């Protein structure tokens, strides 16, 4: 069974600083995909960034980047230059190639302080 673990239930960061959210996963599969989703207080979840396991290069999207360590089964999210609008729940998610069952972690509540 595939599991996703987010060990930080809550985190906070000062505006303009950098924060890293942790995620580990467990799978015996070799081909899979990893995602970070953001769920602001309004509850509408949006995709932040995604990574294909076969790619060694870490994905980046503007201020968001990941540190993908396949051997360690680790997939952390780094948010640079944090903004107040980054305040949200962040969910790490995993999906096996050709199997559309997406598994989510329990989430990390991030608060950006002014």
Partner 1 sequence: EAGVVQSPRYKIIEKKQPVAFWCNPISGHNTLYWYLQNLGQGPELLIRYENEEAVDDSQLPKDRFSAERLKGVDSTLKIQPAELGDSAVYLCASSWGSSYSNEQFFGPGTRLTVL
**Residues near partner 1 (CB under 8 A):** 4, 9, 33, 42-47, 50, 52, 91, 93, 95, 97-98, 100-102, 104-107
- How far is Cα 25 from Cα 45, in angstroms, rounded to an integer? 21
Nearer to partner 1, 90 or 112 (CB): 90
Hunting for tokens 């942790």 — which residue is that? 22
- Residue among 24, 105, 99 nearest 66 (CA): 24
Nearer to partner 1, 40 or 81 (CB): 40
CB of 17 to partner 1, least distance (A): 26
Nearer to partner 1, 49 or 112 (CB): 49
Angle at 40 between CA 72 and CA 31, to 5 degrees: 30
């Amino acid at each position: 069974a595939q599991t996703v673990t987010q060990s930080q239930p809550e985190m906070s960061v000062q505006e303009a600083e950098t924060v890293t959210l942790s995620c580990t996963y467990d799978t015996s599969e070799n081909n899979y995909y990893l995602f970070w989703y953001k769920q602001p207080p309004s509850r509408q979840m949006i995709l932040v960034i995604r990574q294909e396991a076969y790619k060694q290069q870490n994905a980046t999207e503007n201020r968001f980047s990941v540190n993908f360590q396949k051997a360690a089964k680790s997939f952390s999210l780094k948010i640079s230059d944090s903004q107040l609008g980054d305040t949200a729940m962040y969910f790490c998610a995993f999906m096996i190639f050709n199997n559309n069952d997406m598994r989510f972690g329990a989430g990390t509540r991030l608060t950006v302080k002014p």
